[in-house]
Structure 1
Amino acid sequence: MEPASQPVHSQKGPFLRTVSAGERFIGFYVVHRKRLEPFRDPSRGHYLTLVLGDRSGQRLARVWEDAEALAAEIDVGDVVKIQGEMETYRDRLQVRVLRIRKAAEGEFDWRDMLPASPHDPEAMLESVLAAAEAIENPHLHVLVMRFYGDEALLEALRWVPAGRKVHHAYLSGLLEHLTEMLALADRVLEIYPQIDADLLRAGILLHDIGKVRELHWGLNVDYTDEGRLLGHIVLGDEMVAAAIESLPEFPPALALRLRHMLLAHHNRYEWGSPRRPQTLEAIALAKIDDLSAQVNRFWLLLQQREAGETWTPYDRLLERRLYAGESDLSVEEESQQR
């Protein structure tokens, strides 16, 4: 995922991390934090400190005039249009805000404001819906379409991340994860035709369905109460079991195999799975899921390293640093010179 390439919305303005000291600019940014602070001279009242951000990152910003009135108008989470100048204070870049107002609906796109998949969510959703429609087993087809024919769920699926921090942890991340898994499944099924293709694809489409209830997303990705207390595996199994219960002709043996896949897709007890995979389709699902997640996780860590560094900082969860390599650096340097 590229942190800042071309904006989605034509009026976005420059990404914050591309603005240099001394440069004046106009653009749209989201307010992450705000605080009124007193001047050293009490007679001058207060100034307003903001943390502004877009998908490239964040910058500290100061509003020196009319701070009290603006603080009453602008809230954390608002998108604002600013005219500003990038300046250096104590060797750190910050924005001196010259003009600021709340953005109107239609003036911005959230994919410019927050980390988001680089892929078009509508194109990904179309691909995922095509996979759902293509399931031939009539029982699995009806079950999967109970979810993928639900407009409210599809609206959530357009934006929900696949995780809070570890992988695909950005807007439309779950759609990207599903798209990758379906593409990987095509190759796996070519190599292993003994795997039930409809069952594997149904498992992919349903394995993370509980994440629409596990997570809430906005300025930050975090867990809902039921997400913290139950988790997406339990929530997903609950949702699928309820849907199966409403389909009286759904074969019990097929329900058992599908629910086992969902409960076992994290592969290991210590990773949150109540069961380990015990069928062909369950182990295929678990490995495809892990490949998509881990490649994305490695890639994001490599993108976040400091410019010019061949190694990432130590990652506590992975218990290692990752190596980018000299060839990767040369490609980055070449692209920055263009």
Structure 2
Amino acid sequence: MSQLPDLPRLPLGARVQDPFLVLEVEQRESARGPFWTLTLGNATGRLPSAPVWSEQQEMVAGLTKGTVVQVIGEVTQFGGKRQLRLSSVRPIPRGAVEWDQLLPSIGDPAPWWARLDEWRARIAKPRLRAVLDLFYEDPAFRTRYGACPGSTNGHHATLGGLLKHTVEIVLIGHAMARAARADADLVTAGALLHDIGKLEAYRWEGVFETTEAGALLGHVALGHRMLVERLATTDPRPCTEREQWMLEHFILSHHGKLEFGAAVPPMFVEAEILHYADDASAKTDSMNLALADPDNFADGAPVSARGVWQLDRRKVWRGDSDWGAGD
């Protein structure tokens, strides 16, 4: 595989002549007339194009989200943000480029699965383990779960991002459970079930997108339905009615507040732990992404020039110190 251009870190003046995936195509109006912008991506990240004006419109005519293109261009800057000034854009067949070059990925999912499966094997409660096995012993489910992104454009937005996000939640949740004297097995189960609806809410065969069902219902409602339907079609019933309510509650409450997408707020300690562990995993990933993006920092400044939407529009700081370690 040829060396991929590192889109988040390409310096001004860098020339590219590489394949990219079209992530967005946008048309706008200005005093000069209509113009088009593309958002181009590969496995390293994404970069917007400079405006393509009407006299160059044929260069982007017919391009849609998900098109694979061969691009020639140069990195420039406008308004403190890098952009790619396009010289040539040519559609190429999807099969001409390996998808692992076009989409960000966690890489080999096997180490992440090993962690999850080890925790699942330690669960001592047979009925709790039996419910999890309905999903996590299903090869088709595992294939999709191991590829699904954690979001379409935000935290863990990579192939396999949902799997990585889940492992992080269990790690954080176990630490919180020890401090709160909570049931770690139950926290594990909540982590493994809370986002299963994303398998129906997202599409990742190409660009990361929300499905029609995801747009209409959302991953919380879809995940709740997946759990209820799987338990209803399992005979004998693997858990009691009250135990099923607890597992449903994990899915329905994990966003914490109704205004953030929860159907109900968390009502027992393990559900509270799941909510905060989920939020901590998402926010720290978003923070690391924001700190690594040079476009957030003007002229090498330590404080970002603007707030980051994934972090509730907070600014971020990338200063550091070795605290005397190098003395």
For 1:311, what is the secondary structure of its paired residue? coil
Residue 113 of structure 1 pairs with residue 105 of structure 2:
no
**Aligned amino acid, residue 136 of structure 1:** A
Q: 1:212 corresponds to which residue?
A: 199
Residue 296 of structure 1 pairs with residue 285 of structure 2:
yes
Aligned mate of 1:18, from 1, 10, 14: 10
**Aligned amino acid, residue 198 of structure 1:** D
Regions of 4+ moved over 6 Å: 87-92
How far apart are the structure 1 equivalents of 2:290 and 2:244? 38
Change in CA separation of 1:133 and 1:33 when aligned onto 2, cut-off 3 Å: same
For 1:30, what is the secondary structure of its paired residue? strand
How far apart are the structure 1 equivalents of 2:91 and 2:154? 35
Residue 278 of structure 1 pairs with residue 267 of structure 2:
yes
**Aligned amino acid, residue 310 of structure 1:** P
Q: 2:228 corresponds to which residue?
A: 241
How far apart are the structure 2 equivalents of 1:32 and 1:204? 30
Change in CA separation of 1:159 and 1:253 when aligned onto 2, cut-off 3 Å: same
TM-score by length of 1: 0.72
The 5 A counterparts of 1:1-338 are 10-16=1-7, 18=10, 21=13, 23=15, 27-32=18-23, 52-54=40-42, 55-58=44-47, 60=49, 77-79=66-68, 84=72, 86=74, 93-97=84-88, 101-102=92-93, 104=95, 107-110=97-100, 112-117=101-106, 120-193=108-181, 195-217=182-204, 220-245=207-232, 246-249=234-237, 250-304=239-293, 305-306=296-297, 308-312=300-304, 313-315=306-308, 318-327=311-320
Change in CA separation of 1:317 and 1:177 when aligned onto 2, cut-off 3 Å: closer
* Stretches of structure 1 lacking an aligned partner (at least 5 in a row): 1-9, 36-48, 331-338
1:95 CA displacement: 4.6
User: Larger deviation: 94-103 or 169-178?
Assistant: 94-103
**Aligned amino acid, residue 224 of structure 1:** T
Deviations 1:244-283 (A, max 9, x none): 2214342222212222222211121111212111212211
How far apart are the structure 1 equivalents of 2:75 and 2:244? 61
RMSD of Structure 2 on Structure 1 (CA): 3.7
1:12 CA displacement: 4.3
Change in CA separation of 1:325 and 1:18 when aligned onto 2, cut-off 3 Å: closer
1:229 CA displacement: 2.0
Q: 1:4 corresponds to which residue?
A: none
**Aligned amino acid, residue 98 of structure 2:** F
For 1:152, what is the secondary structure of its paired residue? helix
Deviations 1:174-196 (A, max 9, x none): 11110101111232233334x22
For 1:239, what is the secondary structure of its paired residue? helix
**Aligned amino acid, residue 124 of structure 2:** E
* Stretches of structure 2 lacking an aligned partner (at least 5 in a row): 27-36, 323-327
For 2:129, what is the secondary structure of its paired residue? helix
For 2:230, what is the secondary structure of its paired residue? helix
How far apart are the structure 1 equivalents of 2:14 and 2:221? 53
Change in CA separation of 1:26 and 1:327 when aligned onto 2, cut-off 3 Å: same
**Aligned amino acid, residue 199 of structure 2:** V
How far apart are the structure 1 equivalents of 2:166 and 2:186? 15
**Aligned amino acid, residue 225 of structure 1:** E
TM-score by length of 2: 0.74
How far apart are the structure 1 equivalents of 2:17 and 2:192? 42
Change in CA separation of 1:220 and 1:200 when aligned onto 2, cut-off 3 Å: same
Amino-acid identity (%): 28
How far apart are the structure 2 equivalents of 1:306 and 1:177? 27
| Number of aligned residues | 297
Deviations 1:103-133 (A, max 9, x none): 646x5243x323444x643322332233333
How far apart are the structure 1 equivalents of 2:288 and 2:86? 30
How far apart are the structure 2 equivalents of 1:182 and 1:206? 11
**Alignment check: 8 A CA contact 1:12 1:28 kept:** no
For 2:47, what is the secondary structure of its paired residue? strand
